[in-house]
Structure 1
Amino acid sequence: MTGTVTGTPRADDPRRAPRGRVRTWGLPGCGLVLTAPAGLLLVRLTGLDAGTPFAVPMVLFPYSALLGALVLGLMVTVPALRSWWAVAVVTALTVVQAGLLVPRFVPDSRHVPAGTAVLRVATLNTDAGGADPGAVVELVRTERIDVLALEQLPPAGVAALDKAGLAALMPYRELHPEYDSSIYSRRPLSRGGTTDSDTAWPQTTAEITVAERPVKFVAVHTYYPLGDAGRWTRDMTALASLARRGGPDTVFLGDFNASLDHAPMRGLLAAGLTDTHAELGHGWPRTWPVGLPVVPPLVQLDHVLHGSGLAGVSVGERTLPGTDHRAVVAVLALLPA
């Protein structure tokens, strides 16, 4: 009598071959894929992106964290890849990445008293004046913007905006197209001018008075790390020095060419500023690039930062035709002194 034996195939059974191949090639493949997330995590933890070419890939850190989580899920669910020591290593990697990213998705619990005075602000990189003037004016009108910072705005762009009606909505302005950025306002401006900090070009500044308190604005546009990471880092360092002297009622808004994962941006925040997106739990907005076929905006380069005398009430992004950046619109409340 001949019996049939079932159970685990022997080592030389051909049924083991597919699983063996998956294990032989799958684990090294997972390790290869994880070199990018592990490398970016190392740069993120050590701040090696400051002044180095690592500043460019660092904008992809949230994507690398997602990639690490996907690899972990694959290793846990596919039996042939279930090497527990490897799972433990990837779990540790994922936990550290999550620890760095999750706080920006948790809103601050700061209370804004009812009736507190608010400012509606916006910033837009016009892409050398390419932003549609009518769309900019419509944004100001519909969002009831009090202060607008525009970067990469040439003289021709200033004229086009006035022709489209911005002068009637925002008659007060501190214009410095020769230095890249300008500030428009519904309310009278004072102490206007440009910074003398060590940035690639001067940054435009001005103050407005709200509830008898002067609020200082800095329209920011830094150099870009792909062009010169050292120059970009010096720009961010100079802005941090400016922020430390600015006081609690200060707003820095514009195109920082930096994400929250860049060491120079963290240094700027440590100088006394808060990122409005992270404050309100909007942890991963994307403002650039806009207008590419199929590809949506990938990274956040544009921010509204404010001092401790203010608090974010709302923040969001708006897409305007003609520019490769999204506008950032925020409502800021002036906290009681």
Structure 2
Amino acid sequence: MTDTAVGAPPAADLRRPSGRRGRMFGLLGCGVMLAGPFALLVVRLTGLDAGTPLAVPIVLFPYAAVLSVLVLSAMLAVPALRSRWAVTVVAILTTAQVALLVPRFIPDQRQVPARAAELRVATINADVGRADPRMLVRLVQTERIDVLAVQQLPSAGVAALAKAGLDTLLPHHELHPEYDSSIYSRLPLTRGGPLRADTAWPQTTADVTVGGRTVRLVAVHTYYPLGDAKRWTRDMTALTSVARDSGPDTVLLGDFNASLDHAPMRKLLGSGLTDTHAELGHGWVRTWPVGMTLVPPLVQLDHVLHGSGLAGVSVGERTVPGTDHRAVVAVLALLPARGRAPTGVRAGSW
């Protein structure tokens, strides 16, 4: 009797039709998953979101980059997907996305003098007065806020905040519930009123003196891209003109209905403003929507932008019950002008 060796069946050979078919479907699946990220990269590079419905999906650009990283990792880990040309294409796509995102995760190395005057600011969209007034007052007290910008605050909301004690903490006001944005301040305000700019509704502006310097404040609430992308773009363009004419000691804070990946926002920042989150390396912050059971905050619509005369010291987000936006709290330092020593006066010393 002759022994017959029985070997294990050979592994699937990708050269066979079934192996080639599996690779083809695998690579096709990767291509389908990356179609969206590729399209968003094109929009991000070309600025096609300005004035178009593409302004809505471009807020997902960071998520698209994460998806590209995951697909690239899968292609490198699964032998059947290791097609040289496919891996090269996906690697180029991923590298381009990451290159656009990385700068906002790297803090600026700007030196702030130890005795520089500081301004503590906060902004919140009150969601038509639904924000809990007592919790908002507590936020102002806890964070020792000097200036608070509030959007979507109707007259009833103004009264509720006064009843909760906000006027005691921030006794100086530039209130315009009819125009959708208001400013509260611990420090006296001057030159207050509606901003003269081509926006859907007037933005509220005022000046505040900090350490002997006059800082211009603009409480921002733009139109929203989902409602009318062209109107939103005109709002952002108008704010860009305002920023160019306002000088280095300027702070724009509020609900811009824009992320750092929107072309109009990048143009606004190009006018001489700095986003405090990106400046301090907080590259992926999400402030909206809040309070939804199954949907976590997805995008950052609320920002504190400042001119070159100031620098961010700290920035963070705080949740106030009732509203669908998180509040943004920032500490800004006034940089000494050339040839001028720091004043040593801190606006934030309650």
For Structure 1 versus Structure 2, the TM-score category normalised by the shorter chain is over 0.9
Give the aligned residue type for 2:127. D
CA contact (8 A) 1:22 1:81 kept: no
Greater than 4 Å deviation, 4+ residue runs: 1-14
The aligned counterpart of 1:152 is 152
Structure 1 residues 186 and 28, CA gap change in structure 2 (3 angstroms): same
Q: CA deviation at 1:197?
A: 0.6
SS at match of 1:130: coil
Measured in 2, the distance between the counterparts of 1:127 and 1:202 equals: 18
SS at match of 1:34: helix
Structure 1 residues 11 and 259, CA gap change in structure 2 (3 angstroms): closer
The aligned counterpart of 2:60 is 60
Give the aligned residue type for 1:40. L
Matched ranges for 1:78-227 at <5 A: 78-227=78-227
Matched ranges for 1:246-257 at <5 A: 246-257=246-257
Give the aligned residue type for 2:42. L
Give the aligned residue type for 2:139. L
CA contact (8 A) 1:20 1:80 kept: no
Measured in 2, the distance between the counterparts of 1:215 and 1:12 equals: 68
Measured in 2, the distance between the counterparts of 1:251 and 1:10 equals: 64
The aligned counterpart of 1:242 is 242
Measured in 2, the distance between the counterparts of 1:307 and 1:108 equals: 14
Measured in 1, the distance between the counterparts of 2:87 and 2:15 equals: 27
Give the aligned residue type for 2:121. V
Measured in 1, the distance between the counterparts of 2:274 and 2:263 equals: 15
Measured in 1, the distance between the counterparts of 2:210 and 2:15 equals: 80
Give the aligned residue type for 1:323. T
CA contact (8 A) 1:118 1:331 kept: yes
Give the aligned residue type for 1:56. V
Measured in 2, the distance between the counterparts of 1:279 and 1:54 equals: 26
SS at match of 2:139: helix
Measured in 2, the distance between the counterparts of 1:179 and 1:98 equals: 39
SS at match of 2:320: coil
Q: CA deviation at 1:26?
A: 1.0
Q: CA deviation at 1:116?
A: 0.7
TM-superposition CA deviations, 1:136-163 (whole Å, max 9, x none): 1000000000000000010000000000
Matched ranges for 1:299-318 at <5 A: 299-318=299-318
SS at match of 2:220: strand
Q: CA deviation at 1:10?
A: 7.3
TM-superposition CA deviations, 1:199-237 (whole Å, max 9, x none): 000000001101111000000000000000000000000
Moved more, 91-100 or 288-297: 288-297
SS at match of 1:61: helix
Q: TM-score, normalised by structure 2?
A: 0.93
Structure 1 residues 91 and 10, CA gap change in structure 2 (3 angstroms): closer
TM-superposition CA deviations, 1:222-276 (whole Å, max 9, x none): 0000000000000000000000000000000000000000000000000010000
Measured in 2, the distance between the counterparts of 1:73 and 1:10 equals: 23
Measured in 2, the distance between the counterparts of 1:212 and 1:60 equals: 42
Structure 1 residues 103 and 167, CA gap change in structure 2 (3 angstroms): same
Structure 1 residues 121 and 25, CA gap change in structure 2 (3 angstroms): same
Q: Output the aligned Cα RMSD.
A: 1.7
Structure 1 residues 166 and 21, CA gap change in structure 2 (3 angstroms): same
